């Protein structure tokens, strides 16, 4: 489908302007126009509608939106995420694995690998790391670190579902769940890729428990998915994984506010 880029940009900017002005209905009308012009949703209009409470909560952010978002920020990704937002989950992951006496590992799958922050954190503890990300531009930065045995441009769920080579003994997904609502397909795919007794380390963002009364996830005001820990634990169990460790963490800051979340380690039980 040929997209009228100029018309789409006008509608999207109108939505942002009206949202900032507190005109939720006007913003929603503009975002619905964006979806009509661009069904693949490169701008994340569906997520913005859900965040406003004026649209259904989707199962996930569109692939086009995630790829566009990270491609646009590829050159400044580390500065934004680490320096400005205080993101340090990969190093926390390394610390917890070491404290629990888990590892070293032979084969690690880094889902949503970005520029390779998890690979940097796990350097020296893994023999071979495979990275997967939707944004090709950001994989160029990961490749420059020379820490990956292989890198793939792909969706995390689709990659896991199609993997037919040797299983991994560690799968990581840090800062992946904020772009997924229904994590069932991802967890099932991870279970498929893991060897028996292999580990799955992941982070999520959360809100007060009351926000999850109607389900296990919602879209927050920053257009990111938030998950209830009970939902994640139950979904891991359905995917054949047992919870080994869970803790409350601050994932990052956003507009100066700490964003609460969880860090979880699970083991494939067979």
Q: Is residue 61 part of a domain?
A: no
- Burial classification of residue 139, based on how many CB atoms lie within 10 Å of its CB (0-12 exposed, 13-18 middle, 19 or more buried): buried
| Location of structure tokens 């569109």 | 62
Q: State the pTM of this model.
A: 0.94
Q: What does the block give as tokens for 163?
A: 């993997």
pLDDT at position 246, please?
Answer: 97
Same domain, 115 and 172: yes
User: What percent of the chain lies above the pLDDT cut of 70?
Assistant: 99
Q: Is residue 84 part of a domain?
A: yes
Q: What does the block give as tokens for 107?
A: 């084969």
pLDDT digits (tens, 9 = 90+) for 111-168: 999 999 999 999 999 999 999 999 999 999 999 999 999 999 999 999 999 999 999 9
Same domain, 47 and 81: no
Q: Is residue 68 part of a domain?
A: no
Q: Is the peptide bond before 104 cis (omega within 30 degrees of 0)?
A: yes
pLDDT at position 1, please?
Answer: 66
Same domain, 95 and 176: yes
Q: Is residue 63 part of a domain?
A: no
pLDDT digits (tens, 9 = 90+) for 77-115: 888 888 888 899 999 999 999 999 999 999 999 999 999
pLDDT at position 257, please?
Answer: 87
Cα 241 from Cα 207, distance rounded (Å): 24
**SS3 call for 266:** strand
Q: Is residue 248 part of a domain?
A: yes
User: What percent of the chain lies above the pLDDT cut of 90?
Assistant: 86
CATH classification of the domain holding 126: 3.40.50.150
Instruction: Indicate the number of domains in the chain.
Output: 2
- Please enumerate, as own/partner, the contacts of 235-240 that have beta carbons within 8 Å and a separation of 24 or more: 235/183, 235/184, 235/187, 236/187, 236/200, 236/264, 236/266, 238/184, 238/187, 238/188, 239/184, 239/187, 239/188, 239/190, 239/191, 240/191, 240/268, 240/269, 240/270
For 20, the domain range is: 5-56
Q: Is residue 65 part of a domain?
A: no
Same domain, 105 and 16: no
User: Containing H/E element for 69?
Assistant: helix 63-72
Same domain, 126 and 224: yes
Maximum pairwise Cα distance, the chain: 55
């Amino acid at each position: 489908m040929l997209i009228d880029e100029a018309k789409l940009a006008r509608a999207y900017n109108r939505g942002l302007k009206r949202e900032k002005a507190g005109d939720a209905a006007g913003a929603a009308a503009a975002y619905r126009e964006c979806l009509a012009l661009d069904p693949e949703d490169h701008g994340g209009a569906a997520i913005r509608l859900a965040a406003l409470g004026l649209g259904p909560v989707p199962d996930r952010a569109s692939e086009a939106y995630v790829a566009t978002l990270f491609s646009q920020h590829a050159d400044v990704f580390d500065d934004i995420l680490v320096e400005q937002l205080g993101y340090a989950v990969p190093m926390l992951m390394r610390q917890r694995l070491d404290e629990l006496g888990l590892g070293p590992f032979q084969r690690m799958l880094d889902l949503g690998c970005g520029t390779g922050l998890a690979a940097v954190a796990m350097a020296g503890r893994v023999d071979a790391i495979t990275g997967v990300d939707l944004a090709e531009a950001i994989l160029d930065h990961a490749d420059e670190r020379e820490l990956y045995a292989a890198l793939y441009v792909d969706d995390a769920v689709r990659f896991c579902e199609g993997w037919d080579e040797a299983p991994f003994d560690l799968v990581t997904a840090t800062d992946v769940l904020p772009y997924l609502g229904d994590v069932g397909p991802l967890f099932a795919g991870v279970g498929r890729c893991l060897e028996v007794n292999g580990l799955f380390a992941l982070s999520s963002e959360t809100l007060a428990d009351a926000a999850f009364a109607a389900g296990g996830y919602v879209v927050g005001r920053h257009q990111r998915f938030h998950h209830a820990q009970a939902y994640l634990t139950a979904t891991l169990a359905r995917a054949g994984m047992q919870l080994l460790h869970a803790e409350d963490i601050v994932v990052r800051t956003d507009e100066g506010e700490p964003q609460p979340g969880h860090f979880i380690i699970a083991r494939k039980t067979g």
